[in-house]
Amino acid sequence: MPGRLQDKVAIITGGVSGMGLASTHRFIEEGASVVVADIQAGKGRELEKQYPGRLRFVACDVRDEADIVAAVSAAVETFGGLDVMYHNAGAVGDNSDLASITTEGWDDTFNLLLRSTMLTIKHSIEPMRKRGKGSIILTSSAAAVSLGGSGPYAYTVAKAGVISAGRYAALALGPDRIRVNIIVPGAFPTSIWSGHVGGDAEMGDRMGLDLQRFAGMQALPQVGDPRNIADAALFLASEEATFVTGVALPVDGGLTLHRNSQGSASGQLGTVSDAVATFKAAS
């Protein structure tokens, strides 16, 4: 039985770890050929060995326009075109607050999170027009939707910009049948979350030992799994979402339903700041 992405060609930025890796596996399981664009060359080469003929790795710093162009060219040259661009790569960036952030820290964070969004959209348009349609999927954050202050300043503002950029592009590219949607992840125990608590990748790995702390931050008392994001990306990439564009889709266990100090009906829902403080103290 054909997969939901049978004969589709996809690019996944940041596809060698965390939510991106889960999506890489899921897309290939569903029949897609995938170009993984990432800065982690060692892991990328291992993925190529795991999926010979189905996956091509391209070393890519998403802040560099030439690298984005190279990834798109690889999809066209290796697999014949481009149907899906899933821009997932990112990091927390500068952790500084309003009073201490520098212009360099602000610009670096925006280059990584928002400039890269512009570039991935820009360079997906021509090959998708040649296909007659396409799906662009962007990654924002629950911090940008209704949890101001839960993430670093530059990160939160840049991720809000991703939603605006996606909606603008959805309207502009609709006549080309190019759909643009945004996934809004909540709290997932991946290495990027260590940046939210002022830690490093090793701390991010340790968070896997304390998964249940995340469940107390949201309405659904369960821990998010990167495969939850992969399933959402699969839907948005597939023909099942052919009438869906301009949507910012929370995949967050209800985190953006946050009721702050009021708590949940059971009295167990705390604030994101509380959860971060608790994790810092325990670490």
Domains of the chain: 9-186+224-252 (3.40.50.720)
d(CA 96, CA 98): 7
3-state secondary structure of 33: strand
- Would you state the pLDDT for residue 271? 46
- Would you state the pLDDT for residue 260? 42
C-alpha dihedral over 160, 5, 171, 71, to 10 degrees? 70
- Would you state the pLDDT for residue 225? 87
C-alpha dihedral over 100, 116, 37, 178, to 10 degrees? 150
- 155 counts as catalytic: yes
- Would you state the pLDDT for residue 151? 80
What pLDDT digit, counting tens, does each position of 158-181 carry?
999 999 999 999 999 999 999 999
149-188 burial, b at 16+ Cβ within 10 Å, e below that, comes to: ebbbbbbbbbbbbbbebbbebbeebeeeebbbbbbbbbbb
- Would you state the pLDDT for residue 266? 40
Answer whether 0.85 is exceeded by the pTM.
yes
- From 86, 153, 155, 168, the catalytic residue: 155
d(CA 197, CA 283): 10
Structure tokens at 244: 């869906």
What pLDDT digit, counting tens, does each position of 236-282 carry?
999 999 999 999 999 988 888 864 434 443 444 444 445 555 545 55
d(CA 27, CA 238): 10
d(CA 116, CA 140): 12
Average pLDDT by stretches of 10, the chain with 283 residues: 92 95 97 97 96 97 98 98 97 91 97 98 98 98 74 92 98 98 85 50 48 72 88 98 97 75 41 50 50
- Would you state the pLDDT for residue 261? 35
- Would you state the pLDDT for residue 224? 83
Q: What is the CA radius of gyration of the chain?
A: 18
Alpha-carbon distance values, 8 to 34, 83, 224 (Å): 9, 6, 27
